Structure 1
Amino acid sequence: MNEPAPRPAPAAEGPALRAGDADRDRVAAVLADALATGHLDPDEHAERLEATYAARTLAQLHPLTADLAVSATELQPVAPPSTMPVTALFSKVRRGGQWPVPPASVARARWGKLVIDLRHAVFTRREVVIEADAFFGLVELVLPAHVRVYDEGGALFGKRALPSAALDETQADGPVLRVTGRAVFGQVRIRRAGDARYPWREWR
């Protein structure tokens, strides 16, 4: 009597094809929606978003949305988050919490202080650009440890300051923030949460 042939091992879910930035962006958009609707808590969202940016194949991306109401393969193109400029004019303005970071946005301080707190923000793209313009004012960007930042702006009788705290190398595949714009008789300050140079009371 012939014994039945052994069953082949199940293949990994999702095709073993290389994932591109557009694929990772689709997954990040699904995760952002799941966070906003309460299907993921902040810790779960952060963990899955980190895995999204680190994924190299579609097979690695598939499990990240497989248990959600809408998967990345079913997601339809949606309008990006609002790109309206955020401005502090003769005032202090702080933006924080779980807000979706658009692919490109503008932050302006005119004789005022503008704090953009990205510690709990939802990055819906692998790379985002913030145009930070300070005119006789201060624009401060507060970053979580896993975000890589590149300051590509300029200054005229002003100052631009980068974070002193080093990037957590275990998060080298995290989101990328490019900061453009100008500091004219003002300051653009980029720091990581916990930077001892700038105590919490300074910007809260």
Structure 2
Amino acid sequence: MPASTTPTALASTTMTAFSGFRRIASGTRSEVLAQLRQLPDAASVLLFDDSTGAQLDLDLREEAPAEPEATGEAPRTVGRPKLGVVAREVTLLPRHWEWLGRQPGGASVALRRLVDDARRVHADRDTERAAREATYRFMTAIAGDLPGFEEATRALFAGERERFDELVAPWPEDIRAHLQKLSAAGWSAA
């Protein structure tokens, strides 16, 4: 399992499994596990996270995500963990810190407001980028040797949907269908 993917995150995401170029399972983690356990050659299956396109490693012997062991009282941390506030380091120039210090509510309030504003203003662009990156991750892992891969990648990141569809048209049906699913939010409305 990739270091950035926690068992809890795996429990809530949907996944798709491929054997070669054929989609053999899709659904929640537990649904896919159940489907894969019934296959004699499940060890050769490629498993992908549907939201990120990332390839996942999954132990078919695993029943459920392991719960962290209770070791007594958790160490105190900076921030307000009960509210989901986590302290992290931010590196800024002195002029940035001075500006933040002059803002109503202080640096933390100003930074949260700036991040929320940027998330709202750039939501469509961020959704497009995330969909294209997920499509690219999946394409690279499973279709990197297929004809037209490099051109399809260029079309994907250039936002050329018709060209992308044309280039992946000769690819196996299940791969093509999954690419369409992953890339759907990656095409601008323009």
Q: Same fold (TM over 0.5)?
A: no
Structure number with greater CO (CA < 8 Å, separation at least 6) is: 2
Q: Which has the larger radius of gyration?
A: 2
TM-score, normalised with respect to structure 1: 0.24
TM-score, normalised with respect to structure 2: 0.26
